[in-house]
A and B are shown apart, each in its own frame.
Chain A
Amino acid sequence: MRWVTLLGRIGTVILMIGLALLVASRINPTTGYTGHRAPISPEKYHVMHSQVYTPQTGFQISVESTDNIRVYLLGISPVELDNWRTLLRETYPDLDEIFIEFHAVPMIFFHEVYPEEILPNLDDPQTWDMMWDVAVLDKGLQTYPEIVLWESPPSTTLSHEFISTDELYITVMVANPSFNTVEVETKISDLTALAGKERVTLAAKLLISIGIALAIPWLILRKVKKSTL
């Protein structure tokens, strides 16, 4: 009797842990939301989002535009990013530190296309135009193809979900290859992955099965005992 009770209670505990896992795997993992709307000039590109993501964190991005656009998801390791920032500081010692912090990737692309430029004068609209040119983006992507995690086909409406498997500095770039200005609306929702839903669900099912198998004899015995009394 004592063994049945002990195993039965262990069973009910395992069953409850399994049910909790099942509930946790069903909870919507979205934690935050940001929206952004901006026009992109002809043959130019924009950085729509940049952030460091740790394993099992990520985001869902949905983009709507008035004409075909291309979206690129670029991922750089923190070490590589630090190297790039150091290179930029050495190449452009007078450049504002904040600009290097926030625009390291476009600056590196710019440096690839115009290595002889001593200092990009950011107040000069012509330099600014050169920096955000689609040709600069294309050259950068050709030089560093390993950082492209995802590239969308030309489209007006698209959605993509990204969950990082390593610590990465992620940059989302939207390019307008057309000859018209395009209005682009970007929505980004943060995601947290629960160790792969399949793994959690499998563990939950396993625990629930074991729990029920262990608990049934005790529950029957308990009911019989109650009805006898």
Chain B
Amino acid sequence: MRKDRPFLEIFTYALDEDYRFPILEIFAFLFALGTFVFVDLGAYSGQTKEALAYSLVSTLCGYPLLFIFVVLILKNVAYGLGSDLDRGVMQTLFSYPLKRRYILTARLLSGLGVALLLFFGIQIFGLFLLAPDVILTYPSTVFLTYAAQLCSPVLLLAGLVLFFTLRLKRGGLALVIGVVLFLAGLIVSGFVTSIAYGTGSDLSLKIWAVINPNSALQRYYMGTSGFLFGGESWVPSFSELLLYLGAGYLIVAVLFIVGYIYFDRRLEI
């Protein structure tokens, strides 16, 4: 038997489970429709061209669409993996001649990888249709914006929910926790600026930028113009921005490593 055969078997099984007809089609329709409906081509007018490129991309993958995407990711990671643990399917998967970490990789490649491919494929296609000059003139801005959005909330939540699913062995509860954390993130992002204004310190903004690098990106491109207490707020430099993005991905990497170690060594079925 070829070495990659069991991996492909598990990957195919995961694809079948995660994207039963017509789940994938419904999400593809929602992503494509949302990309064109939620885009605000007139947002933040009067800013620099780079800021316009940033605002276009960030409205293209704004919160309503991002929420649908997060729901798909959480469904796959929490519900998909959770039901495998709950129904005893994982025991069967463990009988394959494959290391545990490869089983989890196959599961995540289906649950996360395919969803990311679908979402960003539609986004880039939409961007090419809506404003081809933006993607060709400012590829680094487009890349950084998507990288920040991908880091938090998408991968950060996926990492957290993965750990909760493995720890609780109940997908439903982990899914609820994921949705609550997503909504909590929205509420906190609203409070952070007022905390900074109230305390007269940028510390809360900087801590939040580590967890959510998109807030640093927004301040870098838009300055303080889009904020309620703009005059008092902090604007990072480009090198600081890369540092916050790196820190965000470091947190995501740590979460996934913890999930892998737990799955590899501590998970008992």
Which residues of chain A have a CB within 8 Å of any CB of chain B? 2, 9, 12-13, 15-17, 19-21, 23-25, 27, 52-57, 78, 167, 190, 192-195, 199-200, 203
In Å, the complex CA distance between A56 and B19 comes to 36
CB-based contact B22/A56 at 8 Å: no
- The B26-50 residues at the A interface (CB cut-off 8 A) are 26, 28-33, 36-37, 40-42, 45-46, 49
Tell me, yes or no, whether B251 is within 8 Å of chain A by CB.
Answer: no
* Complex CA distance for A53 and B125, rounded to whole angstroms: 24
**Of the residues B33, B42, B46, B129, contact of A78 by C-beta under 8 Å:** B46
**Which residues of chain B have C-beta atoms less than 8 A from A19's C-beta?**
29
Contact call A16/B29, Cβ cutoff below 8 A: yes
- Given contacts A2-B12, A12-B21, A56-B41, 11 further A-B pairs with CB under 8 A are A12-B25, A17-B31, A20-B28, A20-B31, A20-B36, A21-B36, A52-B45, A55-B41, A56-B131, A57-B42, A203-B129
For residue B49, which residues in chain A have a CB less than 8 angstroms away from its CB?
Answer: 167
Which residues of A are found within 8 Å of B29, using beta-carbon distances?
16-17, 19-20
Q: What distance in Å separates the Cβ of B131 from its nearest Cβ neighbour in chain A?
A: 7
Interface status of B144 (Cβ within 8 A of chain A): no
A-B contact pairs, 22 of them (CB 8 A): A12-B24, A13-B24, A17-B31, A17-B122, A20-B31, A24-B36, A27-B37, A52-B45, A54-B41, A54-B45, A54-B52, A56-B131, A57-B42, A78-B46, A167-B49, A167-B52, A190-B42, A192-B41, A194-B130, A195-B131, A200-B36, A200-B129
- Residues of B in contact (CB 8 Å), total 28
If the complex has contacts A12-B22, A13-B28, A17-B28, are A195 and B129 also in contact, measured as CB distance less than 8 A?
yes
- Chain B residues closer than 8 Å to A25, beta-carbon distance: 36
Top 6 nearest A-B pairs (CB, nearest first) are A20-B32, A24-B36, A57-B42, A20-B33, A16-B29, A17-B32
Interface residues of chain B: helix, strand, loop or mixed (majority): helix
**How long is the Cα–Cα vector from A21 to B12 in the complex, in angstroms?**
29
- Which one of B21, B49, B125 has the highest number of Cβ atoms from chain A below 10 Å of its Cβ? B21
Q: Is B118 in contact with chain A by the CB < 8 A criterion?
A: yes
A215 shortest CB reach to chain B, Å? 10
Q: Is the CB of B129 within 8 A of A23?
A: no
Give Cα A178–Cα B91 distance, bound, in whole angstroms. 89
Q: With the chains together, A82 CA to B118 CA distance in Å?
A: 43
Which residues of chain B are near A53, meaning CB under 8 Å?
Answer: 42, 45
- Inter-chain CA distance A196–B75, complex, in Å, is 36
Residues of A within 8 A of B32 (CB): 16-17, 20-21, 24
Complex CA–CA separation, A209 to B49 (angstroms) = 36
A9 touches B24 (CB 8 A): yes
Take A9-B21, A13-B118, A17-B29 as given contacts and tell me if A194 and B45 are in contact as well, using a CB distance cutoff of 8 Å.
no
Question: Which residues of A are found within 8 Å of B37, using beta-carbon distances?
Answer: 24, 27
Of all chain B residues, the one with the shortest Cβ separation from A56 is: B41
Residues A199 and B129 in contact, CB atoms below 8 Å apart: yes
Least CB distance from B126 to A in Å reads 9
Alpha-carbon distance between A181 and B197 when the two chains are bound, in angstroms:
53
Cβ B36 vs Cβ A57 within 8 A: no
Q: A195 contacts B52, CB within 8 Å?
A: no
Q: In the complex the two chains form, what is the Cα distance from A210 to B46 in whole Å?
A: 41
State the Cβ distance, A168 to closest chain B Cβ, in Å: 10
* Distance in angstroms between the alpha carbons of A52 and B40 in the assembled complex: 14
Q: For B131, list chain A residues within 8 Å (CB).
A: 55-56, 195
